[in-house]
Amino acid sequence: MTTQGLYRRLLGASAVLALSAGTAAADFTLHVLHVNDLHSRIESINRFDSTCNAEGEEKGECFGGVARLATKVAELRAELEAAGQHVVLLDAGDQFQGSLMYTTYKGAAEAEFMEKIGFDAMAVGNHEFDDGPEALAAFVDKVSFPVLSGNLDLSQSNLLAGKVQDTVILEVGGEKIGLVSALATDTVDTSSPGPNVIFKDEIEELKADVAALEAQGVNKIIALTHVGYNLDQRIAAEVPGVDLVVGGHSHTYLSASDPKRQGPYPTWVDTAEGGMVPVVQAYAYSKYLGHVELTFDDAGNLTHAGGDTLVLDAAVTPDPDIAARVAELAGPIEELKARVVAETAGAIDGDRANCRAVECQMGNLVADAMLDRVKDQGVQIAFQNGGGLRASIDAGEVTMGEVLTVLPFQNTLSTFQAKGSTLVAALENGVSQVEDGAGRFPQVAGMSFAFDPAQPAGSRVSDVMVMEDGAWAPIDPEKVYGVVTNNYVRNGGDGYRMFASEGMDAYDFGPDLADVTAEYLAAQGPYTPYLDGRITRK
């Protein structure tokens, strides 16, 4: 066993030690504060991850927002630095997309507040490409901290070449802290990077970048990634030289103590060399700030890691200057957000964990709304990717702001014709990555199906039925059906390439999906959320 491997094995027993545990004089301690997947939650959020309102703030029911984040970061920095500790603040990607702040300001607001809070580095997330390389390039030009992603070949992009870095070295307390990064290669399916951004294998590129840093004498290396919790654990296991993985993309809630957690904070991963590497992530939407403390010996071996995700609830007072600036930016869009468009008899569940794995109430609502809008065109089936549903809606009055938080992507309705065999292939694509919580999971209307995640991808779907003349009938592989979806999926997004290549008579019908959903909700008066068994998980 290597010396570093021995240290990491010993580390497993010490990981539960209190953060205040003493260290030897030669040790170096680094506090890593981190966030991921804020998705433009500039304003505070409610328990449904949607924008919180003034009444919620008064009642102490709101979480997060950049003003709270600024307060907590400043508080921890001051406390730790006063004790002679060293602190870095990292973002694991996806600042873009998810609220009217992004729809209106296209990344400028995110850049402004990240600068004010004082981030040290940021990984590129897939949604940073939602408005093409142009929006990411404009964002990078507005920030002073490095933005990195090591598995992107940007040599053919005149917009991003030289702007996004492969690796970064931070000088902290006289020590060199190396950062490497990777972005999920399926970003070509989940966003719009364009043909000039070339993706390479995440793990192989990370190995090369770690080796390059080590050749420069860097022996403390953090992987700041946007690939998801499962792949983060593979990176920890398979990339030698990485001391910590700070991740995003899967919105995973890790905690040291909360029984509702999706995994422990940190999550310890065994390596082939006999060592252990910690993996951390901090859910999403600005609700939590991650705080992990690392201790290295004088040879650069990690000897301790511990910490937790810190909830940014009403106990954290929003920074008044930043809160005032948020209110100023919110002014022009407040009237639209506040407009009441409908009423619901109960909370509509749009939780990410449900809408990317099973039939969910929000999926039924949006798919039903799409199908209702085009039913007079002979369309029978609606597809909505679960990843396009970004929040829940609470009971009572529904504002346009809430609808736009659920459906922030400005997608429009698209119709086309497709054979039954194409639709079955689409369902197989939709459930092919369900174990990873991928956004391609299909929420449907006018159709029902079963799937077995224990089967190999591509062979999971069965019992596909289509509603015809008021009755369910087995899907006919050779029959042509009318289909409606959003323009992103119709053009092949989220792996639905069969719609782009095999769909016939495609027509971008035009209405914004958020408007269609709001109008459908209004017509139900009040809307009652429901599940009806259209998707069965075996």
Entry pTM:
0.80
Q: What is the average per-residue pLDDT within 59-80?
A: 98
3: pLDDT strictly greater than 80: no
* Sequence-ordered list of residues with C-beta below 8 angstroms from that of 212, at least 6 positions apart, any chain: 166, 167
pLDDT of 304 reads 96
* Residue 266: cis peptide before it, omega within 30 degrees of 0: yes
pLDDT exceeds cutoff 80 at 22: no
Please compute the mean of the pLDDT values over residues 7-33 and round it to a whole number: 53
CA atoms within 13 A on the CB side of 208: 12
- What average pLDDT does the chain have? 93
The predicted-structure confidence for 93-110, as pLDDT tens digits, reads as follows 999 988 889 989 999 999
- Tokens read off for 457: 């991808």
Domain boundaries defined on the chain: 3-12+28-325, 340-537
Mean pLDDT across the stretch 508-535? 92
Average pLDDT, stretch 284-306? 96
Strand spans (E) along 74-184: 86-91, 121-123, 147-148, 152-153, 167-172, 175-183
Residue 11 has pLDDT above 70, yes or no: no
pLDDT at 334: 84
The whole-angstrom distance between residue 271's C-alpha and the CA centroid of its chain comes to: 26
Residue 7, pLDDT above cutoff 70: no
In CATH terms, 3-12+28-325 corresponds, of 3.30.43.10, 3.60.21.10, 3.30.450.70, 3.50.50.60, to 3.60.21.10
Residue 12, pLDDT score:
37
Indicate whether 527 pLDDT > 80.
yes
pLDDT given for residue 507 in this prediction: 82
- The pLDDT of residue 526 is above 60: yes
CA–CA separation, 415 and 507 (whole Å):
5
% of the chain beyond a pLDDT of 90? 85
How far does the chain reach from its first CA to its final CA, in angstroms?
Answer: 44
Closest CA to 537 of 436, 426, 477, 460: 460
Q: State the fold for domain 340-537.
A: 5'-nucleotidase;  domain 2 (3.90.780)
58-72, 138-152, 403-417, 426-440: range with lowest mean pLDDT: 403-417
Question: pLDDT band at residue 511, thresholds of 50, 70 and 90?
Answer: confident
Judge whether residue 333 has pLDDT over 70: yes
